[in-house]
């Protein structure tokens, strides 16, 4: 990747993608892409990394960017990248269709998929009826030590969920105390913190705990593709919806990157991804798969600006004063 804009022999330049998407997804998409644009055959390089690692890598390589596309990152991560001047600003065709909440105002990054955070439970151990119906139900004494939580401070997803729980009770973020108290009670019911997603799935499937808070997409993927005994509950008071986005890296092969990103929002492709990989696209698509159509997604009203401002403080407080103290 990187370097000048066009190659001398007229063929296209190599395209390097850092992605936090599952390898199956990325392979699938790239195959589609090269099928449609055969000149890119053998020219697309995918590196599968964690979202945090992409940020680290792009940041470290700033002097000589190696990546062209940053594919998969939280709103916070992408915003950090944007503010550090790592990303190219542009306006793709699909931008106009996209809700302003899901993209950067200056066009440096765009949401790709929406990740509603829901209550996950072990459906071998609990029937749908037994499962808690809303966030506050998690605090009930019957779930003492039955909850497993993916460790919060190191996970973008979990940070967002926990920050939402605080912001839920303090709209402008000025008084986090009720949120802290709520989280403290949740901590009291939490039997174990899992080190990473794999650990979370393992702990839940082996019934070290029965409940968790996790994103819908992964719950569905694990349940349907990996035979995991997982079910989910759409919380009555709503699910915080995170945006997972992508961006063209500044100083990379911008032409290719833009072509690829535009392609990602191809209607047909989005439908396939929604059907097979349970992705909820950040733009409206023509044919929604059945599960999506039936999903009564109830977004929680989260003010992400307030969250963004306070997240670090809140999570640090939680990490130092609440975790394992409830």
Of 32 and 208, nearer to other proteins (C-beta) is 208
Q: Which of residues 258-317 bind other proteins (CB under 8 A)?
A: 312, 315-316
| Bridge partners, residue 233, by sequence | 119
| Bridge partners, residue 119, by sequence | 213, 233
**In terms of Cα–Cα distance, which of 117, 121, 108 is closest to 280?**
117
Question: At closest approach, how far in Å is the CB of 81 from other proteins?
Answer: 10
What is the CA 315 to chain-centroid distance, rounded?
A: 18
Of 25 and 98, nearer to other proteins (C-beta) is 25
Exactly one of 91, 130, 177, 226 binds other proteins (CB under 8 A); which one?
A: 226
Taking CB under 8 A as the binding criterion, the range among 112-120, 173-181, 197-205, 297-305 that sits at the site for other proteins is 197-205
- Asked if 7 interacts with other proteins (CB under 8 A), we say no
- Asked if 227 interacts with other proteins (CB under 8 A), we say yes
- Asked if 170 interacts with other proteins (CB under 8 A), we say no
- In this structure, what is the dihedral angle of CA atoms 58, 63, 69, 73, given to the nearest 10 degrees? 20
- DSSP assignment of 86-136 equals -B-----GGGGGS-GGGB-TTSS-EEEEEEEEEEEEETTTS-TTTS--SGG
- Asked if 325 interacts with other proteins (CB under 8 A), we say no
Q: Is the dihedral of CA 277, 208, 162, 85 positive or negative?
A: negative
Q: Using CB under 8 A as the criterion, what x/- string covers residues 129-168 for binding other proteins?
A: ----------------------x-xxxx--x---------
φ/ψ of 261, rounded to 5, equals -65, -40
Within 10 A of 265 (CB to CB), how many other CB atoms are there? 20
- Asked if 80 interacts with other proteins (CB under 8 A), we say yes
As a whole number of angstroms, the distance between CA 98 and CA 22 comes to: 24
Strand blocks (E) in the chain: 15-19, 44-48, 69-74, 110-122, 147-150, 190-194, 211-215, 230-233, 241-248, 280-281
Instruction: DSSP letter for 316, please.
Output: H
- Asked if 228 interacts with other proteins (CB under 8 A), we say yes
- Asked if 127 interacts with other proteins (CB under 8 A), we say no
Exactly one of 6, 31, 39, 56 binds other proteins (CB under 8 A); which one?
A: 56
- Asked if 103 interacts with other proteins (CB under 8 A), we say no
Exactly one of 15, 29, 30, 66 binds other proteins (CB under 8 A); which one?
A: 66
Binding site residues, other proteins, CB under 8 A: 1-2, 16, 22-24, 45-50, 52-53, 56-57, 60-64, 66, 76, 80, 124, 151, 153-156, 159, 192-193, 195-199, 201-203, 205-208, 221-222, 226-229, 312, 315-316, 319-320, 323
């Amino acid at each position: 990747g990187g370097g000048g804009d066009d190659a001398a022999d007229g063929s296209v330049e190599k395209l390097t993608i850092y992605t936090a998407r599952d390898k199956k997804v990325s392979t699938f998409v790239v195959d589609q892409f090269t099928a449609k644009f055969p000149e890119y055959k053998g020219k697309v390089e995918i590196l599968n990394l964690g979202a945090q690692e992409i940020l680290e890598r792009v940041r470290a390589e700033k002097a000589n960017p190696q990546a062209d596309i940053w594919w998969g990152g939280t709103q916070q991560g992408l915003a950090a990248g944007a503010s550090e001047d790592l990303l190219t600003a542009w306006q793709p065709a699909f931008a106009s269709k996209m809700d302003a909440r899901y993209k950067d105002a200056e066009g440096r990054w765009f949401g790709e998929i929406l990740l509603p955070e829901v209550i996950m439970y072990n459906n071998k151990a609990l029937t749908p009826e037994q499962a808690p119906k809303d966030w506050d139900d998690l605090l009930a004494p019957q779930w003492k030590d039955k909850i497993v939580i993916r460790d919060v401070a190191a996970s973008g997803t979990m940070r967002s969920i926990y920050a939402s729980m605080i912001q839920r009770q303090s709209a402008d973020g000025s008084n986090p105390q009720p949120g802290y108290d709520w989280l403290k009670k949740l901590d009291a019911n939490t039997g174990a913190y899992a080190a990473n997603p794999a650990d979370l799935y393992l702990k839940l499937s082996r019934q070290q705990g029965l409940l968790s808070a996790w994103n819908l997409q992964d719950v569905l993927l694990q349940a349907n593709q990996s035979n995991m005994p997982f079910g989910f509950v759409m919380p009555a008071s709503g699910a915080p919806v995170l945006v997972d986005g992508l961006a063209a890296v500044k100083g990379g092969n911008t032409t290719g990157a833009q072509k690829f990103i535009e392609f990602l929002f191809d209607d047909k492709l989005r439908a396939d991804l929604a059907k097979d990989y349970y992705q909820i696209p950040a733009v409206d698509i023509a044919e929604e798969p059945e599960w999506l159509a039936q999903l009564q997604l109830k977004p929680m009203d989260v003010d992400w600006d307030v969250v963004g401002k306070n997240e670090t403080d809140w999570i640090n407080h939680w990490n130092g004063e609440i975790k394992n103290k409830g």
